[in-house]
Amino acid sequence: MSLLLIDSASLWYRAYYGMPDTLVSPDGIPINAIRGFLDMTARLITQYQPNRIVACLEGDWRPTWRTDLFPGYKANRVDEEGEEDEPDTLAPQIPLLLDLLDLFGFPMVGVDNYEADDLIATFSINESGPIHIVTGDRDLFQLVDDERRVRVIYLAKGFSQQEVVDRNWIAAKYGIPGDRYALFAMIRGDASDGLPGVRGIGEKGAAVIANAFTTIEQVLEAAHHDDERLTPLLRKRLIEGSDYIAIAPKLVHCALDVPLPQMTLNLPPAPKDLSEIYAFKERYGLGASVDRLIAALGW
């Protein structure tokens, strides 16, 4: 039986943009992200039949140990007050969604100064497989491990679509060995996180390098020693980017040592009384979305 690790913020963002903004509660509160999140979670539970599940939350979406190294980390997502720039009609839905998940008894966790990605990564190496990581972010491709049966359920093509990412998928998509996505990302950069990568080296150059080397340290050493696996231009760009390369691993790699609390990861058992959940459903007009999740849990 499998573990389902949910990148919660990624899922509710995709739910928000994937569901009609005309969905509102009886008193006019937007509920499209809530309903979409519930629908997708029910679908995932039905499809993958996990016996364990965790909704991973952001303890800090810009951890200080990353921004101290590189102030531009995710700075493209910051509003004028230095907070995460969320749509006005999404922000009020998040506390309601978390309250409802709590009523259902779903395991949820966030840890101060760590991103949800870091929690997911730590769970992925400490828990037995099969593990399915639900996200719309490419960062977590680095965790894919066929031997340990760790895969990513990738939602980037739309809320209702998903792709199952294993190492063969990564190899076909990027033309690199499937276990070298993190190295590839360090060099290429990631605009969504405000990470520039090595200046002057794009995706094709990053793929060439990731096919020839396994670590960023090997890459930089090869650049300094005129290794013929690198073109003169790539060597020049890598040497010029040495300062960024020195911090790239900590920026790109997920933390694997998050101090997770002791908690049970089991799917929530059926409560003796569903009245609170049904009252919440009626108050906010969540209709069949709540019913689908109840059915998926086998209650």
Please report which confidence band the pLDDT of residue 81 belongs to, taking 50, 70 and 90 as the band edges. Answer: low
Q: In this predicted model, which residue has the larger pLDDT, 2 or 78?
A: 2
pLDDT at 15: 94
Task: Report pLDDT for 235.
Answer: 97
* Alpha carbon distances (Å) from 117 to 79, 85, 209: 22, 19, 25
Does the pLDDT of residue 29 top 80, yes or no? yes
pLDDT for the residue numbered 77: 82
Mean pLDDT of the chain: 95
Query: Residue 252's pLDDT band (boundaries 50, 70, 90)?
Result: very high
72-89: b (≥16 Cβ within 10 Å) or e: ebbeeeeeeeeeeebeee
**pLDDT number for residue 180:** 98
Span 204-225, average pLDDT: 97
Nearest Cα neighbor of 251 from 109, 85, 58, 118 is 118
Q: Which residues pair with 6 in a beta bridge?
A: 55, 134
The reported pTM is: 0.94
Q: Confirm if 198 and 187 have CB atoms less than 8 A apart.
A: yes
Q: Which residues of 232-267 are buried (b: 16+ CB within 10 A; e: fewer)?
A: eebbebbeebeebbeebeebbbbbeebebeeeebeb
Averaged pLDDT for residues 271-291: 96
Q: What is the mean pLDDT of residues 79-88?
A: 67
**Whole-Å CA distances, 280 to 99, 129, 200:** 9, 34, 53
Domains of the chain from N-terminus onward: 3-175+255-296 (3.40.50.1010), 181-252 (1.10.150)
Confidence of residue 3 (pLDDT cuts 50, 70, 90): very high
Tokens of 159: 């809320």
Q: What is the DSSP string of the chain?
A: --EEEEEHHHHHHHHHHHS-TT-B-TTS-B-HHHHHHHHHHHHHHHHH--SEEEEE--S-SS-HHHHTT-TTTTGGGB-TTSSB---TTTTTHHHHHHHHHHHHT--EE--TT--HHHHHHHHHHHS-S-EEEEES-GGGGGG-BTTTTEEEEE-TT-TT--EEE-HHHHHHHHSS-TT-HHHHHHHH-BGGGTB--STT--HHHHHHHHHH-SSHHHHHHHHHTT-TTS-HHHHHHHHHTHHHHHHHHHHHSPPS---PPP---BPPPPPS--HHHHHHHHHHT-HHHHHHHHHHTT-
Report, as an integer, the average pLDDT of 267-281: 96
Question: Can you tell me the mean pLDDT for 5-19?
Answer: 95
Can you give the pLDDT at residue 184? Answer: 98
What's the average model confidence in pLDDT over 58-69? 94
Quick check: 122 and 260 in contact, CB under 8 A? yes
Q: In the predicted model, is pLDDT for residue 87 greater than 90?
A: no
- Tell me the average pLDDT across 100-111: 98
Q: How confident is the model at residue 156 (pLDDT cuts 50, 70, 90)?
A: confident
Band the pLDDT of 214: cuts 50, 70, 90. Answer: very high
pLDDT band for position 80 (50/70/90)?
low
Say yes or no to pLDDT of 83 above 70: no
Q: What is the mean pLDDT of residues 208-217?
A: 97
